[in-house]
Each structure stands twice: as C-alpha cells, then as structure tokens.
A and B are shown apart, each in its own frame.
Chain A
Amino acid sequence: MNVLEVTDLRKHYPIHAGLLRREVARVRAVDGVSFHIAEGETLALVGESGCGKTTVSRCILRALAPTSGSIRFDPGQGGTVDLATLPKRALRPLRRHLQMIFQDPYSSLNPRMMVGDIIAEPLKVNGVPAAERNARVLELLDLVQMPAVARTRFPHAFSGGQRQRIGIARALALNPRLVVADEPVSALDVSVQAQIINLMLDLQDRLKLSMLFVAHDLSVVRHVSDRVAVMYVGRIVEVAPTDALYRAPRHPYTETLLAAVPAPDPMRRGRQMKASGEVADPAKPPPGCAFHPRCPYAQDRCRVERPELTEVAPGRWASCHRAQEIELTGVA
C-alpha cells in the first residue's frame, strides 16, 4: 500500500516583465515528477542544488501550491486525499499526518521556547491534554536519545546535532504517516551526520516510518533509503532500489553523482568522473535531454529528442536514450 503517490507534479514560476507585467517566461522548477512511497519505505530524492527537490518536498507539505499534478496521500483512515488541490482550511486537520525535519537545526527551533514546549507544540495545537503531552515529551526525548533535563532548557544550549534530534522528536510527536526530511544532515559535521543517520535508521526500524529523504549527494542516502530517485532540472532521471542504483546506474547523471561520492579507500577509487559545465537553467532548459550538454555519452538524438522515463529493468526506471547500450560505472 502506498502512503504517497505523486503524479505528474509541476511547479512553474512565471517571470513577469515590462509595464503590464506580462509573463515572458516560466521557471519550470518541477516539471512532471511522478513517484510513490510505500508504507514503511524510505525514498531518497537526490539532485544538485536547484534541481527542484526542495520544491517537490514543499509542494507535498503544501508550503507551496503546485501548478498542476496530483499528490495522493493516505492519512490512514481509509481512502486517500489529493493534497495538491485541497484548500488550506481542509489541509489543517491533515497536517498532523505529514511532518517535516528541517535542514537547518538552528533556524528550525524557536529560540524563545523551551525544548519541552517546542516538542509539545504539535501536540498542543492538536488538542492533546497537558498530562499526556508531558509524558509524550519525555518518551520522545528518550526516543531521540536526549536527557530528560533538556525539557526545561532553551535551544541555545544545544549543539547542531542535538538540535536536530530535537527537531526529529518534534516531527515524530504526532506519529505522522509520512515524514519529509529536507536534507536533515547536510548542515551538520560529518561525525555528527553519522549519529543522526544512525538515529534515523533506528527510528525507521522501531516506528516503521515512511519517509521522503531529500539530499544533495548520494553519500548519506545509501544507508537510509530503500529506493532512490535522482532529479535533474525539474525531472526525475532515474529511480531504482538503492543497492542496484549504486552498483550499476542506468543514467549518466547518476554515474556522475556516484563518482562524486568520496571514497575512503584510495585503492578502491574508480574512474574519476567530473560533471563539466553548470546545471541547466530551469527557465531555459536545453532542447532534448536536459543533461546532454554535460553528458559524455551524448549523441545527436539526445540534443533534439527528450527521453521519457521508461522501465529499463524490473523496478528500475531511467530516462536515457542509450540506457540499454552504454555501460556505466557504479560504486562497490
């Protein structure tokens, strides 16, 4: 059963110019993205800065209103709702099932509130009585491996990693059906990243979380995700189970990203792939395959015809004309 099914999601930003504010162009930040997340599954959404991954996550949480497409969400009460078209008012009772872990642990906690109040905030606004709230806060602090004394302290007393734990506790307070984690570790030191990743693995295990994990590089994703979707300029270019994707990518862009994963063992370092050039401008995407100006395998066809996302092997989808011909390197 799927918790979330996103179909042909688009988010365009019109560019206005001139006296009459006519629309002269559109930034296609997200341009036809489809994916699903099964219950208890973690899907990673990966791509470089500006590829639209954050826009996708904000659309799902309806911090942004999508231009078109559907976002079918199952709140676990029988039946699904389309988050894309739901009016804001009708959205509020659904919020509790959809929670978010933020990227920046410094700005995501209100500095004027005690940690206990921060974690209890979602409980409070959803009408959980005070006694129950206190018990739940203690339980959550324990869950994210924080001491109970943290309750009466303010966020300024904690490090980035500890703050991120508090943010996770807040996201889990209402037992959400789906957690959207927007680059939850990219603002942290590497050593702390590992702790948070381990914590998330542990929580996945214990709570059977369904999660959308947004990240900008493939190194952290490998441990937490069941499947990976790679985005480039507003579109998904490859979706595959994590292991398969790492072993043998089917899209040249995925290969580039994998080559950028730092390898701790220099002997095992493979061929160095460097993505030359800049990420395409989503206001003026190149014709044909958006990746062709940077792709070492590009042919004439790639410059004119846009490849569709097709199933290249069971459970594996890629949008590349040459997916079946070329041999791409993964990591062991």
Chain B
Amino acid sequence: MSATAAQDRWAEATQLRLTWWRFRRHRLAVVSLFIIVLFYLVAAFADFLAINDPHATDARRSFIPPQSIHLFDEDGFNPHVYGLRGVRDRQTFQLIYTPDPNRKLPVRLFTRGYTYNLLGLFETDIHLIGIEGGQRTDGIFLLGTDQLGRDLFSRMIVATRVSLSIGLAGVTLSLLLGIILGGVSGLYGGWVDTLIQRVIEVLRSIPTIPLWMGLAAALPNTWSTTQVYFAITIIISLIGWTDLARVVRGRFLSLREEDFVVAAELAGASQGRIIFRHMLPSFASHIIAAVSLALPAMIVSETALSFLGLGLRPPAISWGILLQDAQNIQVLANAPWLLSAAVPVILVILAFNFLGDGLRDAADPYG
C-alpha cells in the first residue's frame, strides 16, 4: 500500500518537486544553501548583530588584537571580557594592549548600543550582545580593531549587507539584459542573432580591470555612497549579462527543435503561448543554476574593485573596502587579523559555487 502511495506521489510530482528531491541528495549543496541563507540573514540583521558602531573611530584603541569572551569565572557561568590597558612601547612606539584583570566587563544579551534602523522599519538601539558599564573606549573586539580603532567584527557584519546585495542587484540587472537579449537572439536568429553574439564577443574581449577602471574613473567624486553603489552595480553587470545571455540563447535554440515545442506549434498555439507555457518553464531551472553561479562572480568583482579603490569608497563598508586596509604590508605585519575579512568572501563564493553545482545537477531531473 505504502509502496503504491509513494509511486503515486512520484507520478504526480511536479518539476519543482522532483528538482527538490534530487537537490536534497546533494549534501554539499544543501549545506551551502544553509550557509548562504545564514549569510543573507546576517546581512538583513547586520546592525542588530554588530557589537560596536562600525563607523566609530577612536585613536586610543587602534590595532587591538582579537579578544575572546570568557564564559566562566570563579562564580560559575558569567560571560565577561577584561578591560584593556594600552601601554606604548618605548622602543617601537607601538601601543601594546594588556588585559586588566581588575576590570571585568560582563557581557549581556540585548544590550543598548548605537542607534540604527532595523530592516528600515523602526529605530532601535538594541544589539544581540554587548557589555554593561565600562568606559567609552571599552568594548568587545572579537576580531580586533583597525588603525582607526573601528571594530573589525562589527564592520565585517555590516559589510555583508553591501557585498551580498550588490551581487543580487547585479545579477538581477544581468538577468534582465541576458534574458531579453539572449531570448531575442535565440528566438529570432538571423542577423539579430549575429549582431548580439558579436556584441557579446566584443564585450568579453575587453580586459575587465581596465574597463572597470575607466568606468569607475568616470564616476563623479561628488556622488553619494548610494549613487556610487548603483553605478558600480551597473558596471559589474555590464559584463555579467553576456554569460546569462548565452545560456538563455542556447536553451532557446535547443528547445525550438524539441518535439514538444513543435507539437505545440502544430496544435496551433500562438508564439507567446509557446514561449511562456512550453519553453520558459523548461529552462527556468537552468537559469536559476546559472544565476547561482553568476552571483559569486559579481561578489568577487565588487570585492576586487573596492580593494583596488575603484569601487565603493569609504565611508561605505564592504568586504573589498575592509581588505583595502590589508594592502599595506607594514600594517599587515602588525595587525594580521585585518586579513580575516577575506574569510567570509571565500566562504560565500565556495558556498555559491557548490549550490550552483547542486542546482545544475538537480535542474534536469529527466536528464
């Protein structure tokens, strides 16, 4: 009985469900999906998770090394950090921080910190964790601070917002261009197809870094961070759409010859019905897979551009901007923790790649 029930379930499963069943078997992709969702959740609640104001500078706490939270003391469970004492080294003039065992700062959940706008809905100053009491320079610095005394952990968390959303915005724009131009190319063929394909080839033959440099240099200095953000998105997707256009074109070309499409045509279906009812659903899954592979490229592009100083500029915070601080070998030698901003980049890129692979394999449950 249950065997036939399972069979019925399988027989009546839609494309989406079959894809999901197959995707679930791809362990690495499922883990990756989980990681990506986590990252986007962090991006959505970045300010809530951040401990210190990512923009607050203080010369008296520059280059603090990563600090850990002590969970227990002699009285049992009592999470705390120690206050830091900065002493300047007489020979190197470097600030050396040592924990002050007399100043125990208790770590509490849902403490008040800097004011921010939660999800653009309402203003609040509640943060997930923070310390109670202490001086103005005290704080929890899980990943240390940079030269200007800004907390790297909080900055990294806030940076996910820009870095991850620029990928999404870039891909959306690329997808729009790619589907329209690739669709026209594959559907109509002839000289339109030739023209679009040659344009793609020309675009792809231009070395990206000089092109970006030229375009980024053209952005007026007076533009606000938001304006630059959108301009960079457009610049990145200018190259990105070509890949997607090729995927879409290829799918259209192969589907046009598919018997079930011919059958619809022979039944007298209109062009629109053939495209939207028969062709688009057949390659939507491939598009999603292509998108998940295009996203990391976008994220890396933004990081690279910002790292080179061509993309977003401070005071905007993105992974590329954080890595910019790690450009100086002197700084890096003294504060190697600044390089930790590369970790989320690597993590997200790998996760997206595995997810894309899993999706691509699952996308065609009939293949």
Contact = CB atoms under 8 A, between A and B. Distances in A.
Contacts of B281: 112
B15 A111 contact: yes
A112 B268 contact: no
Given A110-B278, A111-B366, A112-B282, A93 B268 contact: yes
Contacts of A96: 267-268
Contacts of B15: 111-112, 154
B365 interface: yes
B100 interface: no
A240 interface: no
B268 A102 contact: no
Interface stretch (A9-17, A119-127, A269-277): A119-127
A100 B278 contact: no
Contacts of A229: none
B263 to A, nearest CB: 6
A63 interface: yes
B1 interface: no
Interface residues of A, number: 31
Given A125-B273, A154-B12, A156-B365, A63 B262 contact: yes
Nearest to B278: A110
A174 B266 CA distance: 12
A95 B12 contact: no
A169 to B, nearest CB: 12
A103 B263 CA distance: 12
A99 to B, nearest CB: 7
Interface centre among B262, B268, B270 (most CB of A within 10 A): B268
B268 to A, nearest CB: 4
Given A102-B259, A156-B365, A95 B267 contact: yes
A93 B269 CA distance: 10
A156 B364 CA distance: 12
A122 to B, nearest CB: 4
A92 B268 contact: yes
A109 interface: yes
B13 A154 contact: yes
Nearest to A173: B267
A111 B284 CA distance: 13
Contacts of B267: 95-96, 99, 121-122, 125-126, 170, 174
A98 interface: yes
Contacts of B264: 110, 121, 125
Nearest to B10: A157
Interface in B253-273: 258-260, 262-270, 273
Interface in B30-74: none
Given A154-B14, A156-B18, A63 B265 contact: yes
B260 A107 contact: yes
A108 B266 contact: no
Interface in B1-35: 10-15, 18
A107 B364 CA distance: 13
A109 B266 contact: no
Contacts of B282: 110-112
Contacts of A126: 267-268
Contacts of A139: none
A104 interface: yes
B259 A63 contact: no
Contact of A104 (B259, B265, B266, B366): B259
Contacts of A154: 11-15
Nearest to B262: A63
Given A111-B15, A152-B12, A156-B366, A99 B259 contact: no
A156 B366 CA distance: 8
Nearest to A58: B262
Contacts of A108: 259-260, 263
Interface string A112-133: 1010000001100110000000
A100 B266 contact: yes
B18 A109 contact: no
Contacts of A153: 11-12
Contacts of A111: 15, 282, 366
A95 B265 CA distance: 9
Interface in A271-286: none
A185 interface: no
Interface in B281-320: 281-282
Contacts of A100: 262-263, 266
A231 interface: no
A274 B269 CA distance: 46
Contacts of A211: none
A196 B330 CA distance: 80
B365 to A, nearest CB: 7
Contacts of A110: 260, 264, 278, 282
A174 B267 CA distance: 9
A140 interface: no
Contacts of A122: 267-268
B252 to A, nearest CB: 15
Contacts of A102: 259, 262-263
Given A112-B14, A112-B15, 15 more contacts: A92-B268, A95-B266, A96-B267, A99-B267, A100-B262, A107-B259, A107-B260, A110-B282, A111-B15, A114-B12, A121-B263, A126-B268, A154-B15, A156-B11, A170-B263
27 contacts: A61-B266, A63-B265, A96-B267, A99-B266, A100-B262, A102-B262, A107-B259, A108-B259, A108-B263, A109-B260, A110-B260, A110-B264, A110-B278, A111-B15, A111-B282, A112-B14, A112-B282, A114-B12, A121-B263, A121-B264, A125-B269, A126-B268, A152-B12, A153-B12, A156-B11, A156-B366, A170-B267
Closest 9 interchain pairs by CB?
A157-B11, A122-B267, A95-B268, A108-B259, A153-B11, A110-B260, A125-B269, A107-B259, A112-B281
